């Protein structure tokens, strides 16, 4: 009989958490594991994962959570679900209700954000609830935060997120650079600094834009782009205009479908987030051959070991961020040394196989004890 696992994902859009579900399900399609997914009607997860898992479309927002709990509980009983993995905060809430209705099911909560749970008795009950059999933390930083909040160490498991390196490998970097240099009308030899992220408060593009202006004022040649969209895009474009960063220096590309080609053409990947559970876009960049500059927040220092696999600056410190960009622009050998260091480190510590086996090991330990015979 297969192990039957239900993933609950409360998001309608497609971001890092949904991609991690995809990678797990896609990597494990065998008779040992049977996958199920509950997500909102019309969600990206339902649309993209229905060929990998049996799906249940159920509204989960607001007062509908109780109705959703009864619907999911019925599904659990009908399909013999043995374990639920909650992939978001709202899914965490829903999972607790379902566990009340189905007390024999094992309950796992994935924690992907690097800030402490909010204060108050409700959140203490939610995060310390004895019904939660295990938290899966995607970085050591998150694991420490939950431990400091009071979650027992026996209920915390570290399974770092990963990415599929396949789409980023085998691309001719020189050809990608020539193609995009022609599109942007820049010399192909110019150093390219790139950022791919939702333009939101969390990602703090303002720090990156201010750092680029500082580097420009120091007389260093470069071209930069920001790919992605978001609520703060207009504000970010206005700041760039205010600082005199025209299209010869910085372009906002919006949502692009050629991410692998963009990264292949990029020398320095720059991420100025003010909080980050792990930062899987950094892993994409490493697989593409980029050198990393980022902020020392959340799980990022687990990917970027300062002066070994990239350069780190404090959050919101655009001067230090600019200093790190300047170091790489002035020292091409350092850029290459850090790139090679990151490639080796990510291959060793953030492989897709490790992520998949880590999740399965947690499930297996809860369902049938510590042995792990299946691959």
Distance of CA 77 to the CA centre of its chain: 32
Cα 328 from Cα 311, distance rounded (Å): 9
Find the helix or strand (DSSP H, E) in which 77 lies.
helix 64-79
The pLDDT assigned to 178 comes to 95
Nearest to 208 by CA among 72, 61, 332, 325: 325
Q: List, in sequence order, every residue forming a beta bridge with 313; answer none if it has no partner.
A: 295
Rounded Cα–Cα distance for residues 233 and 237 (Å): 6
CA distance 331 to 281: 24
First to last CA, the chain: 15
Which residues have a Cβ under 8 Å from the Cβ of 97 and sit 6 or more positions away?
A: 65, 66, 69
Distance of alpha carbon 274 from alpha carbon 54, whole angstroms: 37
At residue 97, φ and ψ (nearest 5 deg) are -65, -45
Q: Which helix (H) or strand (E) holds 49?
A: helix 44-49
Name the region of 200 (left: φ>0; alpha: ψ -120 to 50; beta: rest).
beta
Per-residue pLDDT of the chain (375 residues; tens, 9 = 90+): 899 999 999 999 998 899 999 999 999 999 999 999 999 999 999 999 999 999 999 999 877 899 999 999 999 999 999 999 999 999 999 999 999 999 999 999 999 999 899 888 988 999 999 999 999 999 999 999 999 999 999 999 999 999 999 999 889 999 999 999 999 999 989 999 999 999 999 999 999 999 999 999 999 999 999 999 999 999 999 999 999 999 999 999 999 999 999 999 999 999 999 999 999 999 999 999 999 999 999 999 999 999 999 999 999 999 999 999 999 999 999 999 999 999 999 999 999 999 999 999 999 999 986 443 333
Residues 6+ apart with CB under 8 A from 307: 338
Two structure tokens written together for 362: 């947690």
Per-position b or e across 284-298, b if 16+ CB within 10 A of its CB: bbbbbbbbbbbbebb
| Angle separating helix axes 205-217 and 318-330, nearest 10 degrees | 50
Q: Record the tokens describing residue 138, joined without a space.
A: 């995607």
CATH of domain 3-162+351-368: 3.40.50.2000
Pairing assessment for the beta strands 106-111 and 134-137 based on DSSP bridges: parallel
* CATH domain 167-349 topology: Rossmann fold (3.40.50)
Contact (CB, 8 A) for 299 and 140:
yes
Greatest pairwise CA separation for the chain in angstroms: 67
Is 3-162+351-368's fold the same as 167-349's?
A: yes
d(CA 227, CA 240): 14
pLDDT value for 64:
86
Query: 316, 207 in Cβ contact below 8 A?
Result: yes
Task: Determine the pLDDT at residue 215.
Answer: 98
Domain edges within the chain: 3-162+351-368, 167-349
Whole-number pLDDT of residue 373:
39
Residues for the chain: how many in total? 375
């Amino acid at each position: 009989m297969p192990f039957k696992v239900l993933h609950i994902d409360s998001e309608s859009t497609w971001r890092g958490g949904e991609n991690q579900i995809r990678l797990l399900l896609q990597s494990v399609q065998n008779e040992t594991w049977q996958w199920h997914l509950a997500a909102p009607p019309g969600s990206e997860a339902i649309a993209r994962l229905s060929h990998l898992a049996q799906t249940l479309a159920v509204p989960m927002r607001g007062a509908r959570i109780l109705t959703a709990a009864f619907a999911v509980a019925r599904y659990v009983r009908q399909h013999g679900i043995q374990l639920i993995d909650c992939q978001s905060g709202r899914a965490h809430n829903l999972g607790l209700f379902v566990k009340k209705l189905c007390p024999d099911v094992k309950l796992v909560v994935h924690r992907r954000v690097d800030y402490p749970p909010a204060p108050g008795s409700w959140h203490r009950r939610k995060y310390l609830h004895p019904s939660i059999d295990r938290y899966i933390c995607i970085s050591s930083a998150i694991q420490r935060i939950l431990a400091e909040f009071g979650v027992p160490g026996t209920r915390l498991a570290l399974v770092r997120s990963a990415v599929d390196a396949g789409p980023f490998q085998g691309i001719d970097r020189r050809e990608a650079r020539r193609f995009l240099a022609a599109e942007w009308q820049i010399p192909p030899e110019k150093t390219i600094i790139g950022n791919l992220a939702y333009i939101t408060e969390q990602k703090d593009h303002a720090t990156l834009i201010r750092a680029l202006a500082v580097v420009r004022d120091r007389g260093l040649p470069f071209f930069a782009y920001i790919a992605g969209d978001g609520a703060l895009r207009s504000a970010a474009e206005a700041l760039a205009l205010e600082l005199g960063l025209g299209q010869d220096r910085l372009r906002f590309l919006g949502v692009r479908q050629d991410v692998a080609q963009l990264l292949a053409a990029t020398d320095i990947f720059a991420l100025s987030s003010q909080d980050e559970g792990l930062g899987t876009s950094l892993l994409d960049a490493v697989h593409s051959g980029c050198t990393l500059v980022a902020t020392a927040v959340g799980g990022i220092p687990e990917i970027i070991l300062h002066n070994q696999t990239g350069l780190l600056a404090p959050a919101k410190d655009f001067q230090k961020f600019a200093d790190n960009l300047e170091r790489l622009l002035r020292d091409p050998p350092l850029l290459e040394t850090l790139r090679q260091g990151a490639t080796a480190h990510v291959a060793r510590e953030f492989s897709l196989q490790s992520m998949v086996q880590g999740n399965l090991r947690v499930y297996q330990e809860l369902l049938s004890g510590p042995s792990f015979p299946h691959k």
